[in-house]
Amino acid sequence: MTDTATAPAPGDATPDDASGGLVRRLLARIDTTNAVVLPLLAFISALVIGTVVIALSDIDKLKEGDIGGILTTIKDAYLALPKGAFDGWRPLNETIVATTPLLLAGLAVAITFKAGLFNIGGTGQMLMGGMGAVWVGFTMNGPGILQVPLGILAGMVCGMLWGIVPGLLKARAGVHEVISTIMMNFIAASLVLYILKTDAFVREGRNDPISKLVTPEGRLPRLFGYLDRPELRAHIGFLIAIAAALFFWWLLERTTIGFEIRAQGANSSAARYAGMRPGLLIMTSFVIAGGFAGLAGASEVLGTQGRATQGFAGDIGFDAIAVALLGRSSPSGTALAALLFGALQAGGQKMQVDTGVPVDLVLILRALIVLFIAAPLLMKAIWRIKAEGAIAGPSFGGWGS
Amino acid sequence: MELELRGITKRFPGVVANDDVNLTIRSGEVLALVGENGAGKSTLMNILYGLYHADEGQIYVDGEPVTFESPGDAIAAGIGMVHQHFMLVPVFTVAENVVLGVEPTGPLGRLDRAKAHDQVEEISAQYGLHLDPEALIEQLPVGIQQRVEILKVLFRDAKIVVFDEPTAVLTPQEIEEFFKIVESLKASGRGIVFITHKLTEALRIADRISVLRRGQTVGEADPAEIDEVALAEMMVGRPVQLVVDKEPAQPRDATLQVRDLHVVDPTGRTLVDHVDFTVHAGEIVGVAGVQGNGQTELVEALTGLREILGGSVQVDGVDLTDSSPREVHQAAVAHIPEDRQRSGLVGAFTVAENMVLTRYHDDQFSDGIRMDWDTARSTATTLVEQYDVRTPSIATPAGTLSGGNQQKVIVARELSRDLRLVIASQPTRGVDVGSIEYIHAQVVLARDAGAAVLVVSTELDEVMALADRVLVMYRGRIVADLARDETTHNEVGLYMAGAKQQEPA
């Protein structure tokens, strides 16, 4: 079609504006503000479907046909989630602990989305970053003012080095980054297993893969240390994550490299026409991504855990993809999405204790949110948004490119 | 058969694409539907073809109201459409393409090739299409491919045939052939709708002309009684200047010197075949040619976007062979790319961001690390004003602007600095008449400011209007180098078709 109409024609106001006008205008707005509304609708939809899961999990009440009881369980479960996440020092602390690595790793995915690339390699980059950080953490013995920054730096650099590889493979040899980052995850996992068993890393007297303890000086200072409550384990990794999100914003919006990355992601042939170097940008994006993920690894081993095990990164590298998707790769969106996922994780524990609804519900909610985010047309159908311009899907390069 | 569109209104979010449009199409006549890009022509035809549904209004066939839920319904009602972009399977034969979807079959659904062959041959002969049913589509020139599209429509027994910008891809000679076919369709009692923005063609072939402007039918014209200027005024809504206003060129020193340039594609096929030419400061050289004869690759090679196999490119004595796009930019060369959506703009970026897309690296806009957005924004504000870009603000995403305004953003960005050479590829493709005037004037201004200008366009009218000298490309070679004043549309057309070649000097 060559004739996409662009001229706002006269007589825009139609006769039925008075009656259905308000609804239509509201629905029209949904299109334009979908960066906020779509994730919100996805979240609500997930909660609604979640009620079915809760009901099914309470099979006894279901058999008895105790509808009232089921409704109470649903209510209690959904109330327990925010309570367990925000109501009091301890819940807040747990939310922060869960949010920190999700945000850092989420940024590692978001930066590549911005450049039109997929980074499935958050896990591997985190693992390698953790190795670098933990080594500084247990070999040096203070002073903290030196050891902590060095440990963080080591984590970031190791993550960056791990990130170079898929960047290089893509830029030089055209290897699809999804394949290479997944493979790099496997390599990192095996490598960590090996490193943790070497004499330099393994804890005295142990022969399972667990590292020496990070020295007290090398641990990230705790956020609520002044309260003298040892169970509040949240640490300054959270501040690092927020600083990273700010840096992310500054990089993209205020620097030439950020401008290039955004152009590359939004229209790579325009970027090439404009004299930008796609290969270099692919490399740069992956190095920065590796840096963010490396920080996530450092924050885990130096802050939350105080040691490295083979599984310290858990599923964070994958959850981060969901976080970046939900946050639409913007720094504020990614931060909010990480907070949501972190809060769900923290609240999920309380929900299980209080109501017996398994914590797995949280995983299901997360999965549903991501599913809905990835399917804007489905959201449109469910919420009966009728405007013809399709809600934009998440923006990233396709498989073929 | 009589087809009537009555009171058709179609709204998209934020725009009314068709506003109470009325149109009647009768058998045995040619109706030209003219209007600028964005006037709503294609929307209207897509409604007629069942691809869109009208919000208001009704379609009538012979007085009976009908509803087309899909193109299938429209085809069943006897409406055929020849799209601007052909819908053919390149590796299939003519006959296979024609019968695709309505194949004659034998027992057990076996494709009856012989019957398909015969049917296609019969229709081809009947309307003088001269098509070989067994020819492979990918080996046919565009003009012939278009005839296959026409045959497809006839095969489905269309009574009304809609042509969407059919002449855009044809050489002047092919256009003549096309008009003959249209005449024979008309003689067979079919109704023809001819969508175009080329007024001379509408005047030439149509029995009636309907003019669309901003989604509304602003009037009907009788081609016998209206001239091009009056029709253009109807279409645009104000008096327009159809010829480019310029003084004779004052060529000075040679600026762009291309010697023995050779470009191949990854499979080794020659795209630009040992090309030699020179563009002097203060002159506009136009490159004419049917799409796909190496013009795109020539421009890409000159601007650092495509690898050069052999030969050299010099701008004011500085060698730019194998330079990067950035180096070409820094050598004071402007490049208006042929496809603004694909490469000239980042649609998701704001007007301000697009205004610095190729210049963000200049000292003016960055210190090498940080962007100076204040300067960028104030420059953008100035340029928007100076180049008459109609945009709500400089923070508006460029992709939401009309084609003409998007192009003006590119023109503003590329021409608003001191330049040695301007390379403009399809500078007014898909742009409204008002913007065409404006962009042409800017190109002439760049020439008069002392730059050498190379304009590449598949619209022969554009080349003839702008150029001081005309080069013709055919199959990767430059087959003619003509002074504008000493040549005619017809002569250039013959070179474009490969029917004529200049002896190498």
Cα–Cα distance, A269 to B342 (Å, whole number): 7
- The answer to whether residues B41 and B195 touch, using CB atoms and an 8 Å cutoff, is yes
Query: Per-residue pLDDT for B98 more than 50?
Result: yes
Nearest-CA residue of chain B relative to A12? B16
Subunit contact A2:B430, Cβ cutoff 8 A: yes
Q: What is the nearest CA distance from B348 to chain A, expressed in angstroms? A: 7
| Residue with token string 């090398």 | A218
Which residues of B fall within a CB distance of 8 Å from A255?
A: 369-371
Which residues of A fall within a CB distance of 8 Å from B402?
A: 6-7
- Residue B195: alpha-carbon gap to chain centroid: 13
Which residues of B fall within a CB distance of 8 Å from A271?
A: 346
Nearest-CA residue of chain B relative to A32? B13
Cα–Cα distance, A46 to A232 (Å, whole number): 31
Q: How many helices (H) and strands (E) does chain B have?
A: 16, 20
Helix intervals (H) in B227-280: 228-236
Q: Distances in Å between the alpha carbon of B234 and those of B34, B221, B238, B431, B433?
A: 10, 9, 7, 17, 12
- CA angle B172–B176–B178, rounded 5-degree value: 110
pLDDT in tens, B277-299: 999 999 999 999 988 889 999 99
- The answer to whether residues B152 and B97 touch, using CB atoms and an 8 Å cutoff, is yes
- Average pLDDT on B59-80 reads 89
- The answer to whether residues B285 and B277 touch, using CB atoms and an 8 Å cutoff, is yes
* Minimum-distance CB partner of A7 among B214, B360, B361: B214
- The answer to whether residues A58 and A357 touch, using CB atoms and an 8 Å cutoff, is yes
pLDDT-derived band of residue B454, with 50, 70 and 90 as boundaries?
very high
- The answer to whether residues A298 and A129 touch, using CB atoms and an 8 Å cutoff, is yes
Bridge partners of B424, per DSSP, are B336, B455
Subunit contact B305:A273, Cβ cutoff 8 A: yes
- The answer to whether residues A22 and A359 touch, using CB atoms and an 8 Å cutoff, is no
CA nearest neighbour of B152 among B119, B196, B182 = B119
Task: Pick the residue of B8, B9, B16, B84 with the most A CBs within 10 A to test the interface with A by mutation.
Answer: B16
Q: Quote the tokens at residue A283.
A: 């490399």
Subunit contact B84:A274, Cβ cutoff 8 A: no
Q: What is the pLDDT of residue A34?
A: 60
Cα–Cα distance, A76 to B260 (Å, whole number): 80
Cα–Cα distance, B72 to A87 (Å, whole number): 61
| Residue with token string 């030209």 | B32
Residue A8 covered by a domain: no
pLDDT in tens, A177-188: 999 999 999 999
SS3 state of residue A114: helix
If you ran DSSP here, which 8-state letter would residue B146 be given? H
Residue A183 covered by a domain: yes
Nearest-CA residue of chain B relative to A263? B346
Query: Per-residue pLDDT for A17 more than 80?
Result: no
Q: Tell me the CATH number at A280.
A: 1.10.3470
Query: Per-residue pLDDT for A31 more than 60?
Result: no
Cα–Cα distance, B356 to B362 (Å, whole number): 9
Query: Per-residue pLDDT for B399 more than 50?
Result: yes
- Cα of first residue to Cα of last residue in chain A, in angstroms, is 24
Q: Quote the tokens at residue B400.
A: 């939401």
CB atoms within 10 A of CB B157: 13
- The answer to whether residues A123 and A289 touch, using CB atoms and an 8 Å cutoff, is no
CA nearest neighbour of B329 among B425, B442, B421 = B421
Q: What is the pLDDT of residue B143?
A: 80
pLDDT-derived band of residue B113, with 50, 70 and 90 as boundaries?
confident
Subunit contact A269:B430, Cβ cutoff 8 A: no
Nearest-CA residue of chain A relative to B353? A259
Q: Quote the tokens at residue A275.
A: 């004299």
CA nearest neighbour of B15 among B72, B55, B70 = B55
Q: B203 or B38: which carries more pLDDT confidence? A: B203
* Minimum-distance CB partner of A275 among B329, B366, B401: B329
Q: Quote the tokens at residue A354.
A: 């209080």
Q: What is the nearest CA distance from B371 to chain A, expressed in angstroms? A: 5
Longest Cα–Cα distance of chain B, Å, equals: 75
Residue A256 covered by a domain: yes
- The answer to whether residues A356 and A72 touch, using CB atoms and an 8 Å cutoff, is no
pLDDT-derived band of residue B461, with 50, 70 and 90 as boundaries?
confident
- The answer to whether residues B133 and B146 touch, using CB atoms and an 8 Å cutoff, is no
> What burial class does residue B321 get, using C-beta atoms within 10 Å of its C-beta: 0-12 exposed, 13-18 middle, 19+ buried?
middle
Overall number of domains in chain A? 1
Residue A389 covered by a domain: no
Which residues of A fall within a CB distance of 8 Å from B8?
A: none
Which residues of A fall within a CB distance of 8 Å from B401?
A: 6
Q: Which structural domain range is residue A215 located in?
A: 32-222+229-383
* Minimum-distance CB partner of A2 among B14, B84, B303: B84
Q: What is the nearest CA distance from A5 to chain B, expressed in angstroms? A: 4
Beta strand extents in A77-221 (DSSP E only): none
Name residue A33's amino acid.
Answer: T
Query: Per-residue pLDDT for A2 more than 70?
Result: no
Cα–Cα distance, B79 to A200 (Å, whole number): 80
Helix axes A360-374, A376-383, angle to 10 degrees: 90
* Minimum-distance CB partner of A2 among B37, B342, B349: B37
Interface size, chain A vs chain B, as Cβ–Cβ contacts under 8 Å? 128
* Minimum-distance CB partner of A273 among B18, B344, B373: B344
* Minimum-distance CB partner of A5 among B12, B335, B361: B12
- The answer to whether residues B170 and B143 touch, using CB atoms and an 8 Å cutoff, is yes
pLDDT in tens, A205-216: 888 899 999 999
Q: Quote the tokens at residue B267.
A: 């499979």
The residues on A that touch B, with CB distances below 8 Å, are: 1-12, 14, 28, 31, 254-259, 262-263, 266-267, 269-275, 277, 387-389, 395
Subunit contact A267:B358, Cβ cutoff 8 A: no
Provide the b/e sequence for A20-56 (b: ≥16 CB within 10 Å).
eeeebeebeebbeebeebbbebbbebbeeebbebbbe
Subunit contact B346:A266, Cβ cutoff 8 A: yes
Q: Sort strands B56-61 and B30-34 into parallel, antiparallel or unpaired.
A: unpaired
Q: Quote the tokens at residue A12.
A: 């825009």
A2-6, A63-67, A104-108, B44-48: the lowest-pLDDT one: A2-6
SS3 state of residue B144: helix
Cα–Cα distance, B465 to B291 (Å, whole number): 18
Residue A398 covered by a domain: no
> What burial class does residue A111 get, using C-beta atoms within 10 Å of its C-beta: 0-12 exposed, 13-18 middle, 19+ buried?
buried
Q: What is the pLDDT of residue B383?
A: 95
CA nearest neighbour of B186 among B209, B206, B156, B165 = B206
Subunit contact B38:A4, Cβ cutoff 8 A: yes
**Residues whose CB falls within 8 Å of the CB of residue B313, separated by 6 or more in sequence, listed in order:** B256, B257, B258, B259, B261, B301, B302, B319, B320, B321, B323
If you ran DSSP here, which 8-state letter would residue B134 be given? T
Q: A125 or B181: which carries more pLDDT confidence? A: A125
Q: Distances in Å between the alpha carbon of B173 and those of B62, B291, B497?
A: 37, 14, 8
Q: What is the pLDDT of residue A385?
A: 61
Which residues of B fall within a CB distance of 8 Å from A5?
A: 12, 15-18, 38-40, 43, 215
pLDDT-derived band of residue B433, with 50, 70 and 90 as boundaries?
confident
For chain B, list the domains and their CATH numbers. 2-236 (3.40.50.300), 254-344+420-496 (3.40.50.300)
Subunit contact A274:B41, Cβ cutoff 8 A: no
CA nearest neighbour of A156 among A126, A184, A177, A180 = A126
Subunit contact A5:B358, Cβ cutoff 8 A: no
Helix axes A89-114, A331-355, angle to 10 degrees: 140
CA nearest neighbour of B136 among B145, B149, B127 = B145
* Minimum-distance CB partner of A267 among B326, B347, B369: B347
Which residues of B fall within a CB distance of 8 Å from A266?
A: 346-349
Subunit contact B38:A3, Cβ cutoff 8 A: yes
Q: What is the pLDDT of residue B341?
A: 83
Q: What is the nearest CA distance from A10 to chain B, expressed in angstroms? A: 8
SS3 state of residue B111: strand
Nearest-CA residue of chain B relative to A269? B343
Subunit contact A272:B305, Cβ cutoff 8 A: yes
SS3 state of residue A299: helix
Q: What is the nearest CA distance from A31 to chain B, expressed in angstroms? A: 9
Longest Cα–Cα distance of chain A, Å, equals: 83
Query: Per-residue pLDDT for A354 more than 70?
Result: yes
Q: Is the complex ipTM higher than 0.85?
A: no
CA nearest neighbour of B194 among B31, B360, B85 = B31
Residue A6 covered by a domain: no
Which residues of A fall within a CB distance of 8 Å from B346?
A: 262-263, 266-267, 270-271
Subunit contact B16:A254, Cβ cutoff 8 A: no
Mean pLDDT, chain A, rounded, equals 85
* Minimum-distance CB partner of A7 among B46, B361, B402: B402
Q: What is the pLDDT of residue A186?
A: 96
pLDDT-derived band of residue B504, with 50, 70 and 90 as boundaries?
low
Nearest-CA residue of chain A relative to B34? A3
Subunit contact B215:A5, Cβ cutoff 8 A: yes
Which residues of B fall within a CB distance of 8 Å from A258?
A: 371
How many residues are present in chain B?
A: 505
φ, ψ for residue A121, nearest 5 deg = -90, 15
Nearest-CA residue of chain A relative to B363? A256
Cα–Cα distance, B103 to B382 (Å, whole number): 60
**Residues whose CB falls within 8 Å of the CB of residue A253, separated by 6 or more in sequence, listed in order:** none
Q: Quote the tokens at residue A280.
A: 């270099």
Residue A7 covered by a domain: no
Nearest-CA residue of chain B relative to A25? B13
Nearest-CA residue of chain B relative to A8? B15
Q: What is the pLDDT of residue B71?
A: 86
Q: B104 or B81: which carries more pLDDT confidence? A: B81
- Average pLDDT on B102-120 reads 85
* Minimum-distance CB partner of B346 among A11, A258, A267: A267
| Torsional class of B107: left (φ above 0), alpha (ψ -120 to 50), beta (otherwise) | beta
Which residues of B fall within a CB distance of 8 Å from A6?
A: 15, 38, 401-403
| Residue with token string 């393994």 | A202
What pTM, to 2 d.p., does this model score? 0.80
φ, ψ for residue B323, nearest 5 deg = -85, 160
SS3 state of residue A320: helix
Residue A75 covered by a domain: yes
Subunit contact A263:B401, Cβ cutoff 8 A: no
Subunit contact B358:A274, Cβ cutoff 8 A: yes
- Average pLDDT on B217-235 reads 87
